[in-house]
Amino acid sequence: MRKLKLEMHMSIDGFVAGPKGQLDWVGTIASDQAVGDFFSAMLDSSDTLILGRKTAIEVVSTWEDIADNKPDSPEYPVAKKIVKISKIAFSKSQSAISGRNVKVENGDLVTTVQALKNKPGKDILVYGGVRFVSDLISHNLIDEYHLLINPVSLGDGLGIFKEKKSLELIKSIPFKNGIVLNTYVNAS
C-alpha cells in the first residue's frame, strides 16, 4: 500500500497559516539548498500530489510560472517536478482546474484516498490547504507527517489538528535557515 505523506510548513506555535490564511512567514527553498533538496527528494518518492481546491489553484499557477518563466530561480528544479507530477484537486464546487497534469475529484474524500493508496505506484504527497488537511487527519488517512517548523511565532492562526493526535517522531533535521523538519508517524 502506498503511503500518504503530508508536507507542510508550521510555525513554532503550531499554526500553518495566519488568521486570514497568510503564508508570508513561510521559509522558501531559496533560503536553504538543503530545504530544496528535501522537497525534491519527496517529489522523487511520489507520483501523485493531492490538494484542496484553493491550494491547487495557487500551487499550479505559482509552480507553472516558475517552471515556464524563471529558469534562474533556485526553486526551478522543484517547480519542474511539481508541474510534471500528477495532481488531484479535491473540490465540492468545481469540476475542472486549469493547469498541467491536474484532475479534479468530486467524490467522497475517504473512499477516493483509500482507493489511491491501494493502487500500485509511488507514494502520495499532500500539500494542503488547512481544511483539506484537517479532514485527512480526522479520518486517519495520513501515514507520515513531514512538518517544516519555521522559526516564527504567529500568536494566532489556522491549525490542522482539531482533536488529540498521538504521533511518534522518527526524524528531526535542522536546516541552516532555522527551519527544522520533524517527521512523524502515527503512534502505535
- Model pTM? 0.93
**Cα 59 from Cα 82, distance rounded (Å):** 9
| Domains defined for the chain, CATH in brackets | 4-123+135-178 (3.40.430.10)
Neighbouring CB atoms inside 10 A of 140's CB total 10
Asked if 155 and 13 count as a contact pair (C-beta separation under 8 A), the reply is yes
**Averaged pLDDT, groups of 10, the chain, 188 residues long:** 96 96 82 84 96 93 96 92 96 93 96 97 94 97 97 96 96 94 94
Name the β-bridge partners of 103: 88
Summarize pLDDT for 25-42 with one digit per residue, the tens. Answer: 987 666 678 888 898 999
Summarize pLDDT for 165-182 with one digit per residue, the tens. Answer: 999 999 999 999 899 999
pLDDT of residue 34: 86
Name the β-bridge partners of 185: 144, 168
What is the percent of the chain where pLDDT is above 70?
A: 98
pLDDT of residue 29: 63
